[in-house]
Copies of this chain bind each other. A is one copy, B any other.
């Protein structure tokens, strides 16, 4: 029987450099975004498992015996290999239509899948009430589904005893061991597979380990030590299709290979230069690194325009921030979506506020946050701000 209340969180992610080029075998740098998804786990002692996702309007609960019966119907050992087959059964069980792709359907399905698969492997998930609330907008390429899956994996693995609960009396936050994080990450990846079909694994790795990581040709390598950098994250709210943008880039490369391939090489070199700078910064926190990071932003933004994933809204974002002496680039798929603006340690709150106001006047949504944030973390309630406490106190 589970008796503790837990709060844990996982960060979102942004691509710092290498979006699109990564599809063509180049390096991408992904960094943890300190807009976080929070999960509160409470005992509920009634032989039920309950999940509430106010952000997508989900409130569901199931009797534990029904879940156990469902689980026994599956072949015990091959959960990871047989997601597709299991999902059809789970959809029927949860009353979700076969082709449903709405966030609430996928989130419910991922929860059920992870809950049953983790129970099958490590013993029953006890009767708990899970509430998830996020600072991240969904569908904006900020890794909100991965942050959700990382939180679920950490919470469910902790609740069924597969990993420890490292938060000690008197501590405000705690993290798991490297081995436990590896387990959390592997289950979060399974959750991502339920939601995305064929995820790269980058988003859940960033959500689990935080900081920054390098991704190339399927290989994910965490960067050793990276600084926390202040940023503005701006959502232009211009909708776009990642699939269409990726196809457009491919078409341009096929049309003008001699012109486009060097651009991908240049983007690759930008990612590598940026990695060097980030790894040098913690040991030598000199202000001289910031103009280099800013210049890399500017250059890559031009390159992203060249490969055809810019958008007038992103041009405007760059122009508005430039008028405040700040440097921006799109992040992720482009064609609208989000942009990231670097702030220096000494950028004044007034200057930031002025830039935010101008961005909001364009109809954009804007957050002041940091990148290089910690990965999945357990929290004592004293470490949570009022907004998070309020969101998690709703029942």
A259 touching B263, Cβ below 8 Å: no
- A50 in the interface (beta carbon within 8 A): no
- A270 in the interface (beta carbon within 8 A): yes
Q: Which residues 248-274 of A sit at the B interface, judged by CB distance below 8 A? A: 256, 258-260, 262-263, 265-266, 269-270, 272-273
Q: Which residues 195-224 of A sit at the B interface, judged by CB distance below 8 A? A: none
Q: Which residues 287-312 of A sit at the B interface, judged by CB distance below 8 A? A: 295-296, 298-299, 302-303, 305-306
Report, as a range, how many residues of chain A touch the other chain.
20 to 34
Q: Which chain B residues border A269 with CB–CB below 8 Å?
A: 256, 258-259, 262
Q: Which chain B residues border A273 with CB–CB below 8 Å?
A: 256, 258-259
- Give chain A's interface residues, CB within 8 Å of chain B: 256, 258-260, 262-263, 265-266, 269-270, 272-273, 295-296, 298-299, 302-303, 305-306, 315, 319
Closest chain-B Cβ to A340's Cβ sits at a distance in Å of 19
Q: Which chain B residues border A305 with CB–CB below 8 Å?
A: 298, 302
Q: How many copies does the complex hold?
A: 2
Find the B residue at minimum CB distance from A271: B259
B259 touching A270, Cβ below 8 Å: yes
Closest chain-B Cβ to A62's Cβ sits at a distance in Å of 54
Partner of A302, one of B256, B265, B303: B303
Other A-B pairs beyond A262-B263, A262-B266, 15, CB < 8 Å: A256-B299, A258-B273, A259-B269, A259-B270, A259-B296, A259-B299, A260-B266, A262-B262, A262-B265, A263-B266, A299-B306, A302-B303, A302-B305, A302-B306, A315-B319
Closest chain-B Cβ to A256's Cβ sits at a distance in Å of 7
Q: Which 9 A-B residue pairs are closest in the complex by CB-CB distance? A: A258-B269, A262-B262, A262-B266, A262-B265, A302-B302, A259-B269, A302-B306, A302-B305, A299-B306
Q: Which chain B residues border A272 with CB–CB below 8 Å?
A: 258
Closest chain-B Cβ to A12's Cβ sits at a distance in Å of 28
Q: List 30 A-B contacts (CB under 8 A).
A: A256-B269, A256-B273, A256-B295, A256-B299, A258-B266, A258-B273, A259-B266, A259-B269, A259-B270, A259-B273, A259-B296, A259-B299, A260-B266, A262-B262, A262-B263, A262-B265, A262-B266, A262-B269, A263-B263, A263-B266, A266-B266, A266-B306, A298-B305, A298-B306, A299-B306, A302-B302, A302-B303, A302-B305, A302-B306, A303-B306
Report Cα–Cα, A272/B262, bound state, in Å.
Answer: 14
Closest chain-B Cβ to A96's Cβ sits at a distance in Å of 45
Report Cα–Cα, A298/B302, bound state, in Å.
Answer: 11
Closest chain-B Cβ to A259's Cβ sits at a distance in Å of 4
Report Cα–Cα, A303/B306, bound state, in Å.
Answer: 8
Report Cα–Cα, A79/B4, bound state, in Å.
Answer: 98
Report Cα–Cα, A213/B319, bound state, in Å.
Answer: 36
Closest chain-B Cβ to A269's Cβ sits at a distance in Å of 4
Q: Which chain B residues border A256 with CB–CB below 8 Å?
A: 269, 273, 295, 299
